[in-house]
Amino acid sequence: MCIPGCLETVRASLSRRAIPIASNGLRPAADAASASPAKAHAVRTNTGAGPFTSVLDLTHTLSPAFPVFPGDPVIEVTPFATLHDDGYNMKAWHLVEHSGTHLDAPIHFADNGASVEAIDAATLIAPLAVVDITAKVQHSADAVLSRDDLSEWEARHGRLPEGACVAMHSGWGMFAITDPERYIGRDTDGTLHFPGIANDAARWLIEERQIVGLAVDTLSLDHGPSRDFPVHRLWLPSGRWGLENVANLDQAPAVGAVLVIGLPKVKGATGAPVRLLALLPG
């Protein structure tokens, strides 16, 4: 279904039509007139980058085999209708919101925080900054993305883009598929072992940069041994979101991609399984 020629077609279409966007990022009121009470409007995104010519899927496939945080149930998928008996195939799902590759909304750790449907759609399209900490994970499964790692990233790639999502690439993501027990990392004492974000790194991003989200290729923003989730408790109540169980970060560029977070819009949700598509420039 990948069709040659469409790139040129779309470019030609774009050259024929310009969509009026007011200087504040909103479409002119007359253009947005609608009888719908659920008024939408086009909002300025966190990036005007492009053009993009390819896409990288950063999403794990969710099934009952996908590892879960200890204590959480796995997704249940059951037949609801079949082509043979009903004329169409349809299944039912029973799952907790934080299953598979998923988003943590601010309300996950703050009763007055935004739930999924209240997150600004403009923040769901964000420049992606990937911080590689695979070298230190070779020495410790409990390694964290530190303030120094962020400085080193900026020294190489420039200042973290405003409105970005900062992703930890620890190399741990592959274990979700190859070795789910290692991915969870539960030792004989019940302590978990996997990489995460350092609290001082998260604090610096809040105070010194303008970042909309964090992403990790592990089960949790906080590393495995954490018992009180300091990064969750700092980051989410600040009005920012987190992404966990992110896939394929080994194939994402350190800078230059734009992440689109396909977040199902369920009312009151504290999080949701998402589709993460990284748009790559040609």
Measured from the CB atom, is 44 or 147 closer to a second copy? 44
x-marked contacts with a second copy along 1-40 as a string, rule CB under 8 A: xxxxxxx-xxxxxx-xxxx-x---x-x---xx-xxxxx-x
Contact 132, 96 (CB under 8 A): no
Q: How far is the CB of 158 from a second copy (least distance, A)?
A: 6
150 binds a second copy (CB under 8 A): no
Contact 258, 55 (CB under 8 A): no
Q: How far is the CB of 155 from a second copy (least distance, A)?
A: 13
Positions in 207-226 near a second copy (CB under 8 A): 210, 212
Q: How far is the CB of 65 from a second copy (least distance, A)?
A: 8
Q: How far is the CB of 192 from a second copy (least distance, A)?
A: 15
Nearest to 204 by CA among 169, 173, 235, 171: 235
CA torsion angle for 10, 12, 14, 15 (degrees, to 10)? 170
Burial class (CB in 10 A: 0-12, 13-18, 19+), 205: buried
92 binds a second copy (CB under 8 A): yes
- Of 141, 144, 215, 279, the residue at the interface with a second copy (CB under 8 A) is 279
79: Cβ–Cβ under 8 A, 6 or more apart, which residues? 89, 90, 91, 92
x-marked contacts with a second copy along 47-76 as a string, rule CB under 8 A: xxxxxxxxxxxxxxxxx---------x-x-
91 binds a second copy (CB under 8 A): yes
Measured from the CB atom, is 110 or 200 closer to a second copy? 110
x-marked contacts with a second copy along 171-210 as a string, rule CB under 8 A: --xx--xx-------------------------------x
Give CA angle at 271 (142, 258), nearest 5°: 75
Residue 47: helix, strand or coil by DSSP? coil
Positions in 223-262 near a second copy (CB under 8 A): 229, 232, 239-240, 247-248, 250-251, 253, 255-258, 260-262
Beta bridge partners of 129: 166
DSSP state of 246: B
d(CA 238, CA 13): 41
